Structure 1
Amino acid sequence: MDLLQKGWFTEFSPDDLERIKQSSDGSAKQLKSDGEDMGGAWPGQAFSLQIEEVLFHEKSLYQDVLVFKSKTYGNVLVLDGVIQCTERDEFAYQEMLAHLPMCAHPNPKKVLIIGGGDGGILREVLKHDTVEHVTMCEIDQMVVDVSKKYLPHMAKEFGNPKLNLFIGDGFEFLKAHKNEFDVVITDSSDPVGPAESLFGKSYYQLLKEALRDGGVLSSQGECPWIDLDLVRHMMAFSRELFSTVRYATASVPTYTTGTMGYLLCSNEENACGFIGT
């Protein structure tokens, strides 16, 4: 999968990536020569970063894992062709996804993080003095390992004694853990590859069951500018499951369109001071 062209990385949509895989030489260049319209991050638009050095590129058991040093955003983690975080702007995503639910709960002691193998959400959660125990369920050990090596400012809390790191499938973990957590945070990649199942109603039913009374859920909520149908779908089935459902957005420059959404849910009506719609 040739996403690195003449010193530049370009982010492709899932459909584009599938077409790359099916092309004769496995490259975006071949598709372009065949007259295909490669739209970049989404049809009609593209996002690229200039590369100074490729630091790591391998396939794990689950996905393509790439880390490169960019000219303007520091080290960049890419999973299956989609940017997950950069040193320069990662805080904008991590702080929103972590602190919205943590601040909405009056006394969050026990926290579950699904995904988050780069360590950024863990770092933010542990800034709250009330936290006594954090469980992280990450399916891909390689993501944790490369983050420790190439994104140490994000992965700095993996040695914290409050953490229990479980390498495995989030679905299976949730089936065995009911009514345990004050806050649950789903830090998933986009709905492709191993993260695809984390955007459906059955998964959110398990998240609901994992929360204690008064618990708060925060999930990566995609981008309303390009995924509005998916956002509406997630909001609709969440309202069938939870008493309180809210949606927030924030600016993250290296995510598609520069906007990321966050889905907030609770089993309690008007829970924990949530405002807005």
Structure 2
Amino acid sequence: MAQEIVAGDLPLKRPREEEENGVSVAMDTEGKKEPESISTVIPGWFSEISPMWPGEAHSLKVEKILFQGKSDYQNVMVFQSSTYGKVLVLDGVIQLTERDECAYQEMITHLPLCSIPNPKKVLVIGGGDGGVLREVSRHSSVEQIDICEIDKMVVEVSKQYFPDVAIGYQDPRVKLHIGDGVAFLKAVPEGTYDAVIVDSSDPIGPAQELFEKPFFESVARALRPGGVVCTQAESIWLHMHIIEDIVSNCRQIFKGSVNYAWTTVPTYPRNCPCVCTYGALIVLEQLCAVLVNSGVIGFMLCSTEGPSVDFKHPVNPIDSNDNNISKRPLKFYNSEIHTAAFCLPSFARKVIDAKAK
């Protein structure tokens, strides 16, 4: 079992019977005070609403709300959907579904770990659901897996409602640190890790610092020569301005290689703050647009100066299925999809290549 380093426990809160028919999470728009909640009484659909992409929506039909709670950092919800299994939602944004989580978890883990020989020490920042841990466990060369997650409620809820994802916590190599990933990295001795995987939410709220230059500098310092980092890097369809900034920062810091890859995750819009309603579309003051669902998510892969790393061609095969904690085969990742992930559409390649020069 994973060793946990944390002070105190956060209680889990099940929804009251009258809460099961509706929930929403409201955003702060233009400095206006954030409402506590905006409830609906019409059961049926979970929708994400954002002012950034008018005219489009992505909704999931809700069978039942399984959990609602508010941690010290965010609202947490789990519901049973009609088509994607159980769904984890943080502050109104879908984080994973049972049906398509494999595409994200497997790619963000194996793109970096399969690109270097014999990784031994791995750090995961974020990733409280445990899916990245599950995938790291497939690599028998790994001796130490540290994970730093700021929100203990995410860990506990994931263990309860997503056991096939959170099974990664059962790996004895895992040491869980509950706390701020930025502060954790600053305290790490130089050259500690072979790989760092940053499984963050979008660059708002507590996750904002994980997209800024000082954080990437801390990551580079924590990596050994030729070490690698893979971080969630938004959607080429929605966030090229954010990706440009990430590429620019990484090119200044990582003197090995800097690459952008992407994958498909049907339920990933990867949006900014939103209003979410379970049951009906609402209008909050000037907020009247609906979220676009891009269905893709990207990863920034970088290496420090040292032994060269060619991210586009995997060199470290994944072990057989009986050597990992989940005891199940890969659903999404393979060596062909690894290489294909770096093939970018022309509009994205033009921008990223320009920033990489």
TM-score range, shorter chain: 0.7 to 0.9
Among 187, 212, 220, the residue aligned to 1:200: 212
* Cα distance in 2, alignment partners of residues 160 and 25 from structure 1: 38
Q: TM-score, normalised by structure 2?
A: 0.68
Which of the two has greater helix per residue? 1
Give unpaired runs (5+ residues) of structure 1. Answer: 1-5, 30-37
Q: 1:169 to 1:247 in 2, by over 3 A?
A: same
Amino acid at match of 2:80: K
Q: 1:56 to 1:160 in 2, by over 3 A?
A: same
- For 1:262, the equivalent position in structure 2 comes to 299
Question: Are 1:64 and 2:109 matched, yes or no?
Answer: no
1:272 Cα deviation after fit: 2.1
* Cα distance in 2, alignment partners of residues 163 and 66 from structure 1: 26
Which of the two has greater strand per residue? 1
Give unpaired runs (5+ residues) of structure 2. Answer: 1-19, 41-48, 270-293, 313-341, 343-352
Q: 1:82 to 1:271 in 2, by over 3 A?
A: farther
Instruction: Note if contact 1:40-1:47 (Cα within 8 Å) is conserved in structure 2.
Output: no
1:44 Cα deviation after fit: 3.1
1:269 Cα deviation after fit: 6.8
Among 9, 14, 17, the residue aligned to 2:27: 17
Among 160, 185, 197, the residue aligned to 2:197: 185
Amino acid at match of 2:268: Y
1:270 Cα deviation after fit: 8.2
Aligned residues with identical type, % of pairs: 49
Instruction: Note if contact 2:226-2:307 (Cα within 8 Å) is conserved in structure 1.
Output: no
Instruction: Note if contact 2:23-2:38 (Cα within 8 Å) is conserved in structure 1.
Output: no
Among 107, 111, 127, the residue aligned to 2:118: 107
- Report 1:179-258 matches (<5 A): 179-243=191-255, 244-256=257-269, 257-258=294-295
Q: 1:203 to 1:58 in 2, by over 3 A?
A: same
Per-residue Cα deviation, 1:73-113 (whole angstroms, up to 9, x for no partner): 00101111111000000000001100000001111010000
- For 1:272, the equivalent position in structure 2 comes to 309
Per-residue Cα deviation, 1:188-222 (whole angstroms, up to 9, x for no partner): 01112211111101111101111011100000011
1:22 Cα deviation after fit: 4.1
- Report 1:146-157 matches (<5 A): 146-157=157-168
- For 1:34, the equivalent position in structure 2 comes to none
Flag the structure with larger Rg.
Answer: 2
- For 2:334, the equivalent position in structure 1 comes to none
Larger RCO, structures 1/2 (Cα 8 Å, 6+ apart)? 2
Amino acid at match of 1:153: D
Amino acid at match of 2:75: D
Q: TM-score, normalised by structure 1?
A: 0.87
- For 1:162, the equivalent position in structure 2 comes to 173
| Two-structure CA RMSD over aligned residues (Å) | 2.5
Instruction: Note if contact 1:9-1:49 (Cα within 8 Å) is conserved in structure 2.
Output: no
